[in-house]
Structure formats: structure tokens, C-alpha cells
Amino acid sequence: MFHVLTITYLQPLEVIDQARPAHVAWLNEEVAAGRIVLSGRQESLTGGVLVTGDISVEEAQDVMDRDPYREAGLVRYDRLSFGRGICAPGL
């Protein structure tokens, strides 16, 4: 199961940016572990988007729960899950 995890900032961008180094360090760990395959800030700067690898719903929940942004109460997460369909080679 793949998941699109959307992040909505609950605090002003200045507050979010103060916590960003811990969030980015965490993201790098998740990418290295293969749980997250793509991440980025929304163009509107009101949140972010993470795309997971093929992981369970429980693993996706664990990923969201361990985000330093979420641990600090700075964001809300939403999850959209989907099964593998047509995909690029190597995925």
C-alpha cells in the first residue's frame, strides 16, 4: 500500500521554520529507510506532501506520529492510501 501524506501547518511559517531542521533530519532518515520516497512543501507554503514507499497503514501512521512537526503540535496530517497500479520501472 502506498500513501500520500498531506501536512497542514497549524502555526505561522516563522514558527514552522524554527522546527524545520529537526523535520528535515527526520525526513532524511525516513528516505534512507525507504519509507518516504518523495517529499516537498506545498507551493502555497501552507503545508507539505510526503509520498511513502510500499508500507502498511500502521507503518504510515508511525511515520506521521514520529514527525518532529507533529510531536511539537505544529501540523495536522491527512492520509490517502492506494494500491500499486501502473507505475514507472523500478518502483
Which domains can be identified in the chain, with CATH numbers? Answer: 2-82 (3.30.70.1060)
Angstrom distances, CA of residue 56 to CA of 28, 60, 70, 76: 20, 6, 20, 20
Q: Dump pLDDT digits (tens) for 18-51.
A: 999 999 999 999 999 999 999 999 999 999 999 9
The one-letter amino acid code at 4 reads V
* 45-75 per-position pLDDT tens digit: 999 999 999 999 999 999 999 999 999 999 9
Closest-CA residue to 65 (of 5, 2, 4, 1): 5
| Region of residue 34 (phi > 0: left; psi between -120 and 50: alpha; otherwise: beta) | left
Cα end-to-end span (Å), the chain: 12
pTM score of the predicted model: 0.91
